[in-house]
Amino acid sequence: MAPRKLAAGNWKMNGDLAALAEIDALVAAHPAPGCEVLVCPPAVLLHPMKARAGTVIALGGQDCHANPSGAHTGDIAAAQLKDVGAAYVILGHSERRADHGETDAAVAAKAAAAHAAGLTAIICVGETEAQRDAGETLAVIAAQLDGSIPARATAANTVIAYEPVWAIGTGRTPTNDQIAEVHGLMRDCLADKVGDAAAVRLLYGGSVKPGNAAEIFAIPHVDGALVGGASLKAADFGAIIAALETA
């Protein structure tokens, strides 16, 4: 069976209680979406958002700790995300790799913790502009996948997001051929790491908008998107969902 397509929104450090009105609008406009819809808000909004999202929209965290509990001030355990309604957690986003020095090994440890808590891990990879210019993109992605995916990853508990660092929040996107090349490589790399590699959902992220979503969703091995800025407004995210439903 083809993997169920996934439209995922990453609110990053944006949004407040008033912004939950966007979730109400999204649910009203897409009460029975033809793809899976996921929103990953700041952790403080997970619990109130769950009441609005019901079963129409899945929820996710944006990070978790590798340990199940303990003296880690400011951190959040995977089980705590699950407890307030999350089914997913984004891990290894380039902003966390850059801001918090997260290594591939740290991401793999967090993903293992997410799996142990029953969450699906969305593991992010992506090259910088300097790495692309140097012709290192495929090697960088392969190495990040190799180091960031834990043992016992499956298509059910793991999603991979390809987010070129230079495409995030810039309005720039790779060419269709460049996305196809990386997604094809990721599918091949997964075959070495995951039993049911063909069923692992591969998301593209980086300046996905209503205007380019349909084109991106037509690229082979693109099973959905991880959307930043355009996920904050119900109208924009709804248009991206509609493009994925018909892809």
Q: Is 102 in the site for ligand 13P (CB under 6 A)?
A: no
Spatial CB neighbours of 214, under 8 Å, sequence gap ≥ 6: 243, 246, 247
Q: Is 60 in the site for ligand 13P (CB under 6 A)?
A: no
Ramachandran bin of 101, using left for φ above 0, alpha for ψ from -120 to 50, beta for the remaining angles: left
**Residues 6-45 as x/- pattern, contact with ligand 13P by CB under 6 A:** ----x-----------------------------------
Catalytic residue check, 65? no
Out of 109, 222, 226, 243, the residue judged to bind ligand 13P by CB under 6 A? 226
- Residue in 93, 115, 183, 221 annotated catalytic: 93
Catalytic residue check, 163? yes
Q: Which is nearer to ligand 13P, 67 or 210 (CB)?
A: 210
| Cα–Cα nearest to 141, from 184, 90, 194, 96 | 184
Q: Using DSSP, state whether 160 is helix, strand or coil.
A: strand
Q: In whole angstroms, give the CA distance from residue 28 to residue 193.
A: 40
Out of 54, 68, 118, 169, the residue judged to bind ligand 13P by CB under 6 A? 169
Contact (Cβ atoms closer than 8 angstroms) between residue 8 and residue 225: yes
Residues marked active site are found at: 93, 163
Task: Please give the residue ranges that form the binding site for ligand 13P (CB under 6 A).
Answer: 10, 93, 163, 168-169, 205-208, 226-230
